[in-house]
Amino acid sequence: MVRKHPKLNYRAKGPETVRSELLDVIDYQYAGKDIEITIEQPEYTSVCPMTGLPDFGKITINYIPDQKLVELKSLKFYLLQYRDVGIFYEHVVNLILNHLVERLHPKELAVSGEFTARGGITTRVKAAYEKQHNH
């Protein structure tokens, strides 16, 4: 769904246009050995769905893999999709989390966003997932 700002000739894409299948996975060759992976994207951009103004921030992904790893070049292209997407901060971290969990099936995964100040307000948002253990 494309959203057009009423006062500007700008059209933002909807979050449903972000494709999780761009995230390529590779086998984790040391399955059974827990490692923590931290990935930072300090140049994240999207747009405000209310105003169309650009949003900037740093996305940090922390995860403990089970069987799969995310291939980093594909992650870059995946995150680039958000550039013209109108999405709130709280929603973007959850959408990224959901897509990564869907593709990786990790033991644990957290996505946080630190968004630059607008109107004197900075925002930090974190969403997390932990695989449920069957007892």
pLDDT tens-place string over residues 22-47 = 999 999 999 899 999 999 999 999 99
**Which residues are the active-site residues?**
48, 55
Q: Is residue 74 part of a domain?
A: yes
pTM to 2 decimal places:
0.90
Q: Which structural domain range is residue 63 located in?
A: 24-130
pLDDT of the residue at 132: 86
pLDDT tens-place string over residues 64-84 = 999 999 999 999 999 999 999
Q: Is residue 35 part of a domain?
A: yes
Q: Is residue 8 part of a domain?
A: no
Paired residues of 59 in beta bridges:
41, 113
Work out the mean pLDDT of the chain and round it to a whole number. Answer: 92
Q: Is residue 16 part of a domain?
A: no
Which CATH number characterizes residue 82's domain?
A: 3.30.1130.10
Query: How far are the Cα atoms of 17, 56, 67, 70 from residue 117, in angstroms, in the given order?
Result: 26, 9, 38, 30
Q: Is residue 121 part of a domain?
A: yes
pLDDT of the residue at 62: 98
What's the structural domain count of the chain?
Answer: 1
pLDDT of the residue at 111: 98
